[in-house]
Amino acid sequence: MQDAARAACVSRAFRRRWRCYPNLAFSNLIVDWNGDIHVKHEPAREFSSRVNQVLTNHSGGLKTLRLEFIGPSSSDCCSLDRWLQVAITPVIEELSFQLSSALAAYSFPCSLLSDLSGTLIRHLHLAGCAFRPAAKLSCLRSLTQLHLYHVGIKEDELGCLLSSCPVLELFAFGNCSGITCLKIPCTLDRLRRLHIISCNALRAIESKAPNLFSFYFAGKRVQLSLGEPLQLEKLVLSHPQALDDARATLPSIAPNLQTLRITSCLGASNTMMHSRFLYLKFLSIWVHTFPFHDVNDYMSLVSFLDACPSLETFALTTPTEPMEHESIIGDPSHLRRMPGHRHGKLKSMKVLGFNSAKSLIELTVHIIENAGSLESLSLDTTYYAVRCSDGISDTCSSIRERTRMEAPRALLAIQTHIQGKVPSTVKLDVLEPCSRCHAS
């Protein structure tokens, strides 16, 4: 009864206070206890009714508005224009407007971003709509973060939009069709982070932003031109030929890299690199089995590691998809050696999804024998996102059948070919499937 009385008092007070609350969010997305996002199946008219009830009774002065309606009829949700008219005022600072229409059927009313309306907007996030600015939007001079996903926009319109944001610090662009060449003007001298994701029509990226610090790209292979990004220190590259591009061009276009993350096919090339990553300290390589690719020679990474004389941390993730490999269990021949390759500053190596592939054993032994500063070696035979021992969940994450079958072979390979070669100064951590959650 006491809890009920307290709840009643709070409800009566909040019934009046929410009408002037400056931050509102409406969404039909649900996040469960495990962090997974689900769509609440709700008709557009019910979602529209809830939003209308709140915005109609709101006193105005919104600083933050987040509207997310994910569903096949999201662009048919009524009153979209009226909601934006309520939200976009001279005091609005953050606007997130996300529909799920990949066809961008709803056209965002750019006319609202004129005069004094939107002059204080710092964060603008648009998804699932068309954005057609007819001219330069002078009201966006305070914009620091711009996110565009599944947005219908032309190259000249995008260029006009970017030129309207002189203090932009983060630009995220993804799943937008019709853009073949993305040009980042030199006037964006405050741009620090650039994220490009899954733009299938994109063929080239030309950035003249002088102070770019972090660049993330995932999608089909494109031609990169980053001007003279002497400030670029963090780079994420994800496409089938990403490793080839990293070998051939990255040392010259990003000479000061300190963090590099690559998702790529691996292949069997072990050609020497003519240029080096002199300042690279962290390297993460996620080996991916893209279609029509089934050859992985982990020893091909030796020359890449040798081109990173300052490398301190190396993280390697093997493919999660089932694929054939030459297991060391059935091949008693001698391990290959790569003389002349030293990794003098490498302190930590971690392999996620460690298996019995002979070339992976060879790479691990090579690191042990040629990295005199090595302090820790972690070999994880699973792909656990969550372990019961972490206290986050009562059970470990599920593992694939292929992983469960391969784990005993990987453990045997570690015991036979690796464990005895690890110096006493190196901490060896071998992780295997949980005996309680995956006893079978």
| pLDDT tens figures, 1-34 | 888 888 888 877 777 777 888 999 988 877 666 5
Would you say residue 178 lies in a domain? Answer: no
Q: What is the pLDDT of residue 400?
A: 73
Per the CB < 8 A criterion, the answer to whether 311 and 250 are in contact is no
Would you say residue 381 lies in a domain? Answer: yes
DSSP state of 368: H
Q: What is the pLDDT of residue 395?
A: 76
Sheet holding 204-207, edge to edge: 181-184, 204-207, 223-225
- DSSP E strands, 89-153: 94-99, 106-107, 123-127, 129-130, 145-149
Q: What is the pLDDT of residue 41?
A: 72
Q: What is the pLDDT of residue 73?
A: 60
- DSSP E strands, 52-142: 64-69, 94-99, 106-107, 123-127, 129-130
Q: What is the pLDDT of residue 38?
A: 67
Q: What is the pLDDT of residue 326?
A: 73
> What is the chain's length?
440
Would you say residue 255 lies in a domain? Answer: yes
* Parts of the chain with a pLDDT under 50: 292
Output b/e per residue, 202-223; b: 16+ Cβ within 10 A.
Answer: beebebbbbebebbbbbbeebe
Q: What is the pLDDT of residue 252?
A: 85
Residue-number span of the structural domain to which 261 is assigned = 240-440
d(CA 438, CA 440): 5
Q: Which residue, chain included where needed, has tokens 């190259």?
A: 155
Would you say residue 175 lies in a domain? Answer: no
Would you say residue 189 lies in a domain? Answer: no
Residue type, 437: C
Residue type, 277: F
Would you say residue 349 lies in a domain? Answer: yes
Q: Secondary structure of the chain: what % helix, strand, coil (to 5)?
A: 30, 25, 50
d(CA 344, CA 370): 8
CA distances from 364 to 269, 304, 328 (A): 18, 14, 13
Domain count, the chain: 1
Give CA angle at 281 (296, 309), nearest 5°.
80
Question: For the chain, first and last CA: distance in Å?
Answer: 49
Would you say residue 287 lies in a domain? Answer: yes
Would you say residue 284 lies in a domain? Answer: yes
